[in-house]
Amino acid sequence: MTQTESRLSLDQAADLTRTGDLWLFRGRSAADHAIRVLTNAPVNHVGMAVVIDDLPPLMWHAELGKGLVDVWSGNHHRGVQLHDLREAVEQWSGRYEQRAWLRQLDAEVTPAMEDALLRTIARLDGTPFPATAALAGRWLRGRVRRPASVEMTYCAEVVAATYTAMGLLDADRPTNYYDPGRFWSGDDLELRQGALLGAEIRVVT
């Protein structure tokens, strides 16, 4: 997070984003701070861009709120959701008072990977988001390679599960091994198939 970081407007970033790109957020609330302290991470939320055919850019992530329509189910609910990307970033930047960054994925997203992505969305959409204490427990079990139950999930797990299904992450690590900071450039995220992630680009709304 340097003073010389690259910046884009939301419209510019939304036009550039492609499937697999990461959207990262850092907020000031007590819950945001608790997540960062627990995981020693610079960010507290991560989502993944989904850009398929002629649909508008979408964001695939998990959160406690239900203010936006879930594009997959067509209704409002908490937990794992597929949102209009612009609306999601505006909500996180405005209502939740979070700073946003984009990290672009450098990899060919094949039709097989898109199919795996859609199957993951169908499987996880609507899964409840855990309370803060339960989230901490899930993550701590993951750090010692103990998988957590599938009845609930948090944002980094959703991205990790999707990347794993697409063949971008090794399935040897459980999804609850990951926290939002694992997807920040300061961490060593070991991607497969020669995929790379670019530096963070600050997105200003």
Mean pLDDT of 74-96: 96
Q: Would the pLDDT of 193 be above 60?
A: yes
At 109-153, the pLDDT tens digits run 999 999 999 999 999 999 987 555 445 554 455 554 555 454 467
Q: Which of 202, 198, 172, 184 is nearest to 35 (CA)?
A: 184
pLDDT attached to residue 146: 55
pTM: 0.87
The CATH number assigned to the domain with range 7-204 reads 3.90.1720.10
Mean pLDDT of 20-44: 81
| E strand or H helix at 26 | strand 22-26
At 33-67, the pLDDT tens digits run 677 766 667 899 999 999 999 899 999 999 989 99
Mean pLDDT of 6-29: 95
pLDDT attached to residue 153: 72
pLDDT attached to residue 2: 44
Percentage, residues of the chain above pLDDT 90? 68
Q: Would the pLDDT of 155 be above 80?
A: yes
pLDDT attached to residue 1: 45
pLDDT attached to residue 133: 46
Query: Mean pLDDT in the chain?
Result: 87
Cα separation, 43 vs 53, whole angstroms: 30
pLDDT attached to residue 144: 44
Contact 31, 166 (CB under 8 A): no
Cα separation, 9 vs 118, whole angstroms: 28
For CA atoms 121, 39, 96, 4, the dihedral sign is negative
pLDDT attached to residue 147: 58
Q: Would the pLDDT of 29 be above 80?
A: no
